[in-house]
Structure 1
Amino acid sequence: MQSDGTASLEATRTDRAVHQDEERGGSPVAGPGASASTVYTDLGDAIGSARDFTAAFLRARADEGTDIRPRTVEDARLVVSELVTNVVRHAAGPCRVDLELAGGMLEISVSDAYRAAPTAHAPDPGRVGQHGLEIVLALCASVDVEPLPDGKRVRACLVVD
């Protein structure tokens, strides 16, 4: 807990760092059908809704002919679930979820109004809970944090093919 009473997001993966990207700006740009976004102002059902939103997006792309393994859909649902859970636990709404599928990668971006960036910590098998970002780091090719004027965006890239 920080001195202002806010909690920080924690991860325990030391071989793949979470880093802040001070210079990366703007939103991803993608062709038609390759991206989708949604905003949750009521965080009460945001976690389950974000999982369903992600699965529907990937299944629609698969129906259009994109090669997406069933395991990828489940991994993406888990990544979104963990990132949105962190928003629900550590930030006041709203929460925005952006999905972009390009070049065999799914970029999952979750934005919130909490400015503090996640912090990676050394592994601790005795710690109960607070393993969400650790799971994201284990599943994704990269994870970065971009500060925004009104919060932050966490971007996680998951290989889909």
Structure 2
Amino acid sequence: MKTDLVPAGGAAPDRPVVRTSVALAGDGTDIAHARHLAARFLAGVQAGHGLPVSERAMDLTQLVVSELVTNAHKYAPGPALLDLRVTGDTVEVAVWDSDPTLPIARAADVGRVGQHGLEIVMAVAQGFEAQREPVGKRITARIALADDPGGAVCGRRPL
């Protein structure tokens, strides 16, 4: 795993972007490998850069990575790319795959077995974006690194 420390576009020098990327072969080992990479990356962000990473953020990031890589593996032929980037107080999880078809969140249905991955990602992420690329598409989800000290979980306000 290679982690880069790069200046954020327009960000103050004390708010660098920390990132890592990996190409995934598109086989059955990718999902576990991607989850482990995410955990090591966030542990390194916390230990090496002193940024707070809550246990909940660690768990949610691994969940989002797992769901997005699973979808890439399931719906797009060939390899995928996973990009993890910490900017400010969030981690961005981006997955590129070769299929240009943008995902569509289905209506909630407790009777449906499977195909809830996108619903899960959208429910736990503070931000979500799906965009076509010149080849394929990129799905990006943003997750707060620390729980809100006011009691809201990961920056969300209680209902």
Q: Do Structure 1 and Structure 2 share a fold, with TM-score over 0.5?
A: yes
2:86 corresponds to which residue? 101
Mapped to 1, the partners of 2:27 and 2:126 lie a distance apart of 27
State whether structure 2 residue 58 is matched by structure 1 residue 73. yes
Deviations 1:101-136 (A, max 9, x none): 011011100000011100122211111100001110
Structure 2 residue matching 1:37: 3-state secondary structure: strand
State whether structure 2 residue 126 is matched by structure 1 residue 138. no
1:59 corresponds to which residue? 43
Structure 2 gap segments, 5+ residues each: 8-15, 147-159
Mapped to 2, the partners of 1:122 and 1:62 lie a distance apart of 37
Q: CA deviation at 1:160?
A: 0.8
Q: Compared with structure 1, are the counterparts of its residues 155 and 33 closer, same or farther at alpha carbon in structure 2 (3 Å cutoff)?
A: closer
Q: CA deviation at 1:33?
A: 6.7
Give 1:117's aligned amino acid. L
Deviations 1:56-109 (A, max 9, x none): 000001112110011211110000000000011111121100011011011100
Contact 1:34-1:101 within 8 A present in 2 as well: yes
Structure 1 gap segments, 5+ residues each: 1-28
1:35 corresponds to which residue? 19
Structure 2 residue matching 1:52: 3-state secondary structure: helix
Give 1:152's aligned amino acid. K
Mapped to 2, the partners of 1:146 and 1:42 lie a distance apart of 20
Mapped to 1, the partners of 2:24 and 2:117 lie a distance apart of 20
Matched length: 133
Contact 1:107-1:157 within 8 A present in 2 as well: yes
Q: CA RMSD in A?
A: 1.5
Contact 2:26-2:73 within 8 A present in 1 as well: no
Q: Compared with structure 1, are the counterparts of its residues 33 and 155 closer, same or farther at alpha carbon in structure 2 (3 Å cutoff)?
A: closer
Contact 2:46-2:52 within 8 A present in 1 as well: yes
TM-score, structure 2 as length reference: 0.79
